[in-house]
Amino acid sequence: MTITGSTSARDRATIEDVAVAAGVSVATVSRALRGLPNVAWSTRERVSRVADELRYRADPSASRLATGRSRSIAIAVPLLNGWYFSQVLAGAEAVCAEAGYVLVVMCVADRAGRRGLVDATTSIDRRVDGIVFVDIPLHGDDLGTIAQTGLRTVTIGQSTDLFPSVGIDDVAVGELATEHLLELGHRRIGVIGGQAEDQINFVVPQLRQQGVERALATAGVAADASLQVGGSFSVAGGREAMTVLMQAPEPPTAVFAMSDEMAFGAILAARESACHVPDDVSIVGVDDHDVAVVLGLTTVRQRVSEVGARAARLVLDQLEGVEVPIGRYESPIELVVRETSRKPRRRP
């Protein structure tokens, strides 16, 4: 048995079917079902009963065509596999579902950088009413183009002066992690993050880096650019980065990875080089990934799904006419000290 393209849908009831069955006009059905005023109690009652029996549901496309609203929003992410993004997605989806909105996911990974992004956006345009960009670098021109679509927009990570944004104090993240390491006595601190070569993310790693440098400066410790390596925010990337760091003429005694997943990779690399964590090298991550506790990873915790939920909520608010100030909505962060960070061993 096979399925071909010809499978046909059972005819679904239209608003007219309901109108006829209920003995009213389609306009009344529309009003009754959407809870608009000026409908007699009894009429409303009867109409919704009939609608139920007929399993009627307004066709979303027809509705969108008539009202301009699709009751769905999009979320654009640089990649879909990755702990951080799935948490954001989960948070956003929950809010949408709750509000009766549908969530469309778009991955704008390699998709031809700049051009591709704007392209994707304008192509999703009349399909959704709003969009949240998650850690996607939006440049000046893009912003304008996006604004012109009329899509209610919210960004996560980067903040712009056209749209509300949500995220965490990324500078503080870098500072917090670095201060922790400095307090333990570390002076040579490696950083694994998103360097120039990582298209994904842009401002976030940059801000965290600033935090690192600020903390270093405050402590009067010179920053060493050779100790910064990109890790593409993945386990594999973190592993490679750590390998590079350990091969340095004078390797760091501590490493700050800008995400837990990269930290995991770093731990792996360390072990592969018979380098003991934390005796030989301390490691601090960011996120508080579910597995962080399993590996005893010291990390800067953030409430990721809350961020996703908040962003979605802000898009919906705008759609519902709530006044949303363009500004930054910051979620709290917190240092969680576990076993991968310790004071440096005195050199022999």
Partner whose footprint covers residue 76, from a copy of itself, DNA, none (CB < 5 to 8 Å by kind): none
Q: Which is nearer to DNA, 60 or 116 (CB)?
A: 60
Alpha-carbon span 256 to 291, nearest angstrom: 17
Q: Which is nearer to DNA, 41 or 346 (CB)?
A: 41
The three-state DSSP-derived secondary structure of 295-320 is HCCEEEEECHHHHHHHHHHHHHHHHC
- Interface with a copy of itself, residue 236, by CB under 8 A: yes
Q: How far is the CB of 151 from DNA (least distance, A)?
A: 16
- Interface with DNA, residue 100, by CB under 7 A: no
Are 257 and 282 in contact by the 8 Å Cβ rule? The answer is no
Beta strand pairing call for 130-134 and 165-168: unpaired
Q: Which is nearer to a copy of itself, 32 or 154 (CB)?
A: 154
Alpha-carbon span 238 to 195, nearest angstrom: 12
Partner whose footprint covers residue 236, from a copy of itself, DNA, none (CB < 5 to 8 Å by kind): a copy of itself
Q: Which is nearer to DNA, 35 or 249 (CB)?
A: 35
Among 21, 33, 204, 270, binds DNA (CB under 7 A): 33
- Interface with DNA, residue 15, by CB under 7 A: yes
Q: Which is nearer to DNA, 67 or 81 (CB)?
A: 67
Stretch that binds a copy of itself, among 30-38, 75-83, 213-221, 245-253 (CB under 8 A): 75-83
Stretch that binds DNA, among 17-25, 174-182, 200-208, 306-314 (CB under 7 A): 17-25
Among 24, 85, 131, 174, binds a copy of itself (CB under 8 A): 85
Beta strand pairing call for 333-336 and 298-302: antiparallel
What is the rounded radius of gyration, in angstroms, for the C-alpha atoms of the chain? 26
Among 10, 37, 249, 347, binds a copy of itself (CB under 8 A): 10
Alpha-carbon span 289 to 300, nearest angstrom: 10
Per-position x/- string for 96-135, each x denoting binding to a copy of itself as judged by CB under 8 A, each - no binding: -x----xxxxxx---x----------xxxxxx--------
- Interface with a copy of itself, residue 2, by CB under 8 A: yes
Sign for the pseudo-dihedral over CA of 252, 254, 258, 264: positive
- Interface with DNA, residue 23, by CB under 7 A: yes
Sequence-ordered list of residues with C-beta below 8 angstroms from that of 107, at least 6 positions apart, any chain: 76, 77, 78, 79, 80
Q: How far is CA 281 from CA 17, 32, 56, 144, 276, in A?
A: 72, 67, 64, 46, 7
Taking the alpha carbons at both ends of the chain, their separation in whole angstroms is 74
Partner whose footprint covers residue 30, from a copy of itself, DNA, none (CB < 5 to 8 Å by kind): DNA
Alpha-carbon span 155 to 249, nearest angstrom: 41
Beta strand pairing call for 152-156 and 165-168: parallel
Are 330 and 207 in contact by the 8 Å Cβ rule? The answer is no
Stretch that binds DNA, among 62-70, 268-276, 296-304, 308-316 (CB under 7 A): 62-70
Which of positions 325-344 make contact with a copy of itself (CB under 8 A)?
325-326
* Alpha helices for 34-134 (secondary structure H): 41-53, 60-67, 83-98, 113-124
Q: Which is nearer to a copy of itself, 222 or 294 (CB)?
A: 294
Segment holding 206, helix H or strand E: helix 203-218
Size of the site for a copy of itself (CB under 8 A): 77
Which of positions 156-195 make contact with DNA (CB under 7 A)?
none
Q: Which residues bind DNA (CB under 7 A)?
A: 14-16, 23-28, 30-31, 33-34, 37-44, 56-59, 62-63, 65-67
